[in-house]
């Protein structure tokens, strides 16, 4: 955060961040970071015994992977660890091959390298790059999550090659990333890396002959706490970064408060903020206020860790907090599609704390299972699988008899405060965003997608959200994919539903109202209005109504545009990369696998097919087709389109 941004904040935030900035400048000039690194190294080496206090994050069970396991887990652990040992590591669900030693500060796709400098000197917002490079790739590698499967294999087999690999990678990372002096020292990255390394440490604490590596981990983690304590991402409207800071400080403080005096402050600070911050970031019906499905999962992971540790510290958690947290967990279960994937609404940087359970990153069933165990509510769990993270956090005994639930009949699920409506059965799915832009009206990780929707038919993605390919890698494309025309919405005169502000903000002008979710005998009706286009010289009001047949999932969409003069109205539909589109007369035929669907619109509109970029995971995109219905209107009018499956002879 620069001086200009700091001075735009409320006075308490201005004071906090200015003091923090002055201190950081002082630390840099007085060589504090090098001195503290030397001091901690000496403290670890002079200790008579390896420090083994646990964080209370994991179960107290000692034989996690030695007793008989649920089917396939031991084979999964062994094959996953051996894959990493061969240099094959998945980054954002895409496999890459790395040669040891790693280039920790390089985007290996482009070869761009960030030289080691003081962390405050880096700037990542560069426009019009000749070569696309993105700091999130070295950041993701440096989160070191790939070491967790190796530690499981060592705990299970006792083979020295696994422990040697872990120790060598940690030592190499530490040497090449001196505290506060590489691109990988950024508070959010320090926080998530700390959570991953605490998981790694908890597993090694159960393993034999691991003291040397635990000592190394202790040194790295204490340095992470020292850095994070001085760089907390505090501001007026805080989001997932601040929550990550609190979660890491809680675990680090709990682990080291008896070994390193300052760590007690880390724990106390986190405990004093966690519960209040939770209520600032979660709406009471459970939806995270950043209005991103991917970030909702991530922040639920953070608070699960916090509440689990608080519970194990015998601290009371308010009933109101537990109820809202339970609502947040059920929202994950509710937005999960019949194929166990999640919709991509809002930003998606593919981040997860529990990403070593053998799942695609868009499958959130492991956090649902974890929260079902934490809340002792088997109605939450929606998978027959048993995940390693569940065994580690709660022990094998707790997961042995875990039940799961399947979708029974048509479910109509409404989150009126959070702004989502969902309809699904065992093979079909519909979700629409009927809420404001998020983050208390600032946008943040939300997109310009009011009344946008996703549609799954017969178990296959049909109409999808375009996703979020990149952040700083290509700022122009980032903003394009955040914009209205990249979502399944209606636009007027090619304007944004609400103006975009900078790289992250959206104006709080497109407020939904008169939203109705109504279930009738054969049909579900979801409708609402917004005034996002009231700012035009001829003020335009938009009302959208979805009608969904609950037997065959035929979708009808009626748009009412209230205005007094001429406008160009465009309705955008983005299809899965597996959908082929053809315009035949006044009908668009969509082919998906063996199924054919007709898309019919009003006579006043002209359909055209275009290409767009679709991104299911951060850093990866594919070309897909979109359909645009364009209409010239001169006054208030009603437009519609309908989607239904064609019979074999049609």
CATH code at position 541: 2.70.98.70
- Output the pLDDT for position 65: 84
- Any domain includes 576: yes
- How far apart CA 156 and CA 25 sit, in angstroms, is 46
Mean pLDDT value across residues 399-404: 87
The whole-angstrom separation of Cα 156 and Cα 532 is 57
* CB-based contact 492:568 (threshold 8 Å): yes
Residues 75 and 173 in one domain: yes
273: confidence class by pLDDT, cuts 50, 70, 90:
very high
Instruction: Give the model's confidence band at 649: pLDDT under 50 very low, under 70 low, under 90 confident, else very high.
Output: low
Does residue 214 share a domain with residue 362? Answer: yes
Same domain, 385 and 522: no
- Same domain? For 427 and 392 the reply is no
| Res 9: pLDDT | 84
pTM: 0.97
Q: pLDDT by residue (tens digit) across 517-557? A: 999 889 999 999 999 999 999 999 999 999 999 889 999 99
Residue 645 neighbours by CB distance under 10 Å: 16
Query: Is 595 part of any domain?
Result: yes
Q: Which two tokens stand for residue 91?
A: 């980054």
Each residue's pLDDT tens digit, 84-95: 999 999 999 999
Strand arrangement of the beta sheet that strand 587-592 belongs to: 512-519, 523-530, 541-549, 555-562, 637-645, 595-601, 587-592, 579-584
Q: Is the pLDDT of residue 332 over 90?
A: yes
Residue 270, φ and ψ in degrees, nearest 5: -60, -45
The confidence score (pLDDT) of residue 6 equals 67
Residues 376 and 507 in one domain: no
Residue 406 has pLDDT above 90, yes or no: no
What pLDDT, on the 0 to 100 scale, is given for residue 463?
98
18 falls within a domain: no
Report whether pLDDT(585) > 90: no
556 — alpha (psi -120 to 50), left (phi > 0) or beta? beta
Q: Are residues 493 and 349 in the same domain?
A: no
The answer to whether residue 245 is domain-embedded is yes
Assess contact for 324 and 286: CB atoms under 8 A: yes
At 201-248, the pLDDT tens digits run 999 999 999 999 999 999 999 999 999 999 999 999 999 999 999 999
Looking at residue 405, its pLDDT comes to 86
Tell me the two tokens of residue 314. 């015998």
Same domain, residue pair 372 and 463:
no
Percent of the chain surpassing pLDDT 90: 90
Which of 348, 369, 399 terminates a domain? The answer is 399
Domain count, the chain: 2
Nearest-angstrom CA–CA distance, 228 and 518? 48
Is 226 a member of any domain? Answer: yes
Question: Which residue carries 């009001």 as its tokens?
Answer: 541
Query: Are residue 371 and residue 481 in the same domain, yes or no?
Result: no
Strands 112-113, 106-107: pairing kind: antiparallel
Domain presence at residue 407:
no
Domain boundary among 373, 399, 425: 399
Model confidence at 4: pLDDT above 80: no
With a cut of 80, say whether residue 69 has pLDDT above it: no
Going by C-alpha positions, the residue among 410, 333, 343, 412 that lies closest to residue 379 is 333
Please state the rounded mean pLDDT for residues 73-79.
Answer: 93
Does residue 293 sit in the same domain as residue 185?
yes
Q: Note the pLDDT of residue 63.
A: 79
Tens digit of each residue's pLDDT (9 = 90 or more) over 183-196: 999 999 999 999 99
All residues at 6 or more sequence positions from 613 whose CB lies less than 8 Å from its CB, including other chains: 466, 469, 477, 481, 621, 622, 623, 624
Instruction: State the CATH number of the domain containing residue 121.
Output: 1.50.10
Report the phi/psi class of residue 451: left, alpha or beta, with left for phi > 0 and alpha for psi in -120 to 50. left
Query: Rounded to whole angstroms, how far apart are CA atoms 152 and 399?
Result: 18
> What's residue 647's pLDDT?
84
Domain presence at residue 392:
yes
pLDDT at 145: 98
Are the beta carbons of 412 and 282 closer than 8 angstroms? no
Question: Is residue 350 domain-shared with residue 462, that is, in the same domain?
Answer: no
Residue 130, domain member (yes or no): yes
Which of 399, 433, 458 is where one domain is finished?
A: 399
Q: What pLDDT band is residue 442 in, cutting at 50, 70 and 90?
A: confident
Whether 425 and 384 share a structural domain: no
List, in order, residues 6 or more apart from 120 with CB less than 8 Å away: 24, 28
Q: In this predicted structure, what is the pLDDT of residue 2?
A: 65
Range of the domain at 232: 31-399
Does residue 371 sit in the same domain as residue 442? Answer: no
**Greater model confidence, 402 or 212:** 212
> Rounded mean pLDDT of the chain?
95
Question: Which sign, positive or negative, has the C-alpha torsion 17, 19, 23, 29?
Answer: positive
Compute the average pLDDT of residues 429-455: 94
């Amino acid at each position: 955060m620069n001086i200009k941004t700091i001075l735009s904040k409320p006075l308490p935030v201005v004071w906090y961040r200015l003091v923090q900035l002055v201190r950081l400048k002082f630390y840099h000039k007085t060589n504090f970071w090098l001195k503290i690194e030397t001091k901690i190294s000496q403290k670890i080496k002079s200790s008579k015994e390896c420090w083994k206090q646990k964080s209370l994050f994991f179960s107290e069970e000692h034989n996690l992977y030695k007793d008989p396991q649920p089917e396939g887990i031991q084979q999964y652990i062994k094959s996953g660890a051996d894959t990493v040992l061969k240099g094959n590591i998945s980054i954002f669900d895409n496999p890459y091959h790395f040669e040891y030693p790693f280039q920790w500060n390089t985007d290996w796709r482009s070869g761009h390298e960030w030289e080691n400098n003081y962390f405050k000197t880096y700037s990542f917002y560069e426009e019009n790059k000749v070569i696309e490079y993105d700091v999130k790739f070295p950041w993701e590698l440096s989160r070191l999550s790939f070491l967790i499967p190796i530690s499981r294999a060592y705990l299970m087999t006792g083979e020295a090659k696994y422990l040697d690999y872990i120790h060598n990678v940690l030592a190499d990372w530490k040497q090449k990333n001196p505290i506060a002096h590489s691109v990988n020292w950024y508070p959010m990255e320090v926080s998530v890396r700390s959570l991953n390394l605490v998981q790694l440490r908890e597993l090694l604490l159960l393993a034999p002959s691991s003291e040397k590596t635990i000592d190394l981990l202790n040194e790295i983690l204490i340095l992470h706490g020292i850095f994070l304590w001085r760089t907390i991402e505090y501001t007026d409207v805080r989001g997932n970064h601040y929550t990550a800071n609190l979660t890491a400080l809680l675990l680090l403080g709990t682990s080291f408060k008896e070994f390193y005096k300052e760590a007690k402050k880390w724990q106390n600070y986190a405990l004093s903020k966690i519960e209040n911050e939770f209520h600032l970031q979660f709406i009471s019906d459970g939806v995270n206020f950043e209005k991103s499905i991917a970030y909702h999962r991530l922040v639920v992971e953070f608070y699960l860790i916090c509440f689990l540790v608080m519970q194990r510290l015998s601290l009371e958690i308010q009933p109101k907090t537990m109820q809202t947290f339970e609502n947040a967990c059920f929202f994950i279960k509710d937005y999960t599609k019949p194929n166990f994937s999640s919709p991509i609404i809002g930003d998606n940087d593919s981040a997860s704390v529990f990403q070593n359970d053998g799942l695609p990153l868009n499958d959130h069933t492991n956090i649902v299972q974890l929260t079902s165990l934490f809340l002792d509510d088997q109605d939450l769990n929606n998978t027959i699988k048993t995940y390693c993270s569940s065994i580690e956090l709660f022990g094998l005994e707790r997961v042995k008899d875990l039940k799961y639930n399947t979708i029974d009949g048509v479910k109509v699920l409404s989150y009126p405060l959070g702004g989502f409506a969902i309809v699904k059965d065992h093979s079909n799915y519909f979700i629409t965003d009927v809420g404001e832009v998020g983050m208390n009206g600032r946008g943040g990780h939300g997109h310009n997608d009011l009344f946008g929707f996703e549609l799954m038919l017969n178990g296959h993605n049909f109409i999808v959200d375009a996703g979020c390919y990149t952040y700083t890698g290509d700022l122009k494309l980032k903003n394009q994919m955040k914009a209205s025309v990249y979502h399944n919405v209606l636009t007027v005169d090619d304007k944004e539903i609400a103006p975009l502000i900078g790289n992250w903000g959206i104006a709080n002008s497109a407020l939904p109202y008169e939203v109705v979710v109504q279930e009738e005998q054969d049909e579900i009706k979801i409708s609402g209005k917004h005034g996002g286009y009231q700012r035009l010289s001829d003020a335009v009001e938009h009302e959208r109504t979805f009608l969904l047949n609950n037997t065959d999932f035929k979708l009808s969409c009626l748009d009412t545009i209230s205005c007094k003069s001429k406008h160009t109205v465009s309705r955008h539909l983005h299809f899965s990369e597996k959908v082929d589109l053809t315009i035949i007369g006044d009908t668009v035929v969509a082919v998906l696998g063996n199924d054919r669907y007709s898309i019919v619109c009003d006579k006043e509109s002209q359909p055209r097919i275009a290409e767009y970029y679709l991104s299911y995971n951060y850093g990866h995109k594919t070309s897909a087709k979109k359909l645009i219905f364009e209409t010239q209107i001169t006054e208030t009018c009603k437009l519609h389109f309908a989607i239904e499956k064609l019979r074999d002879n049609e």
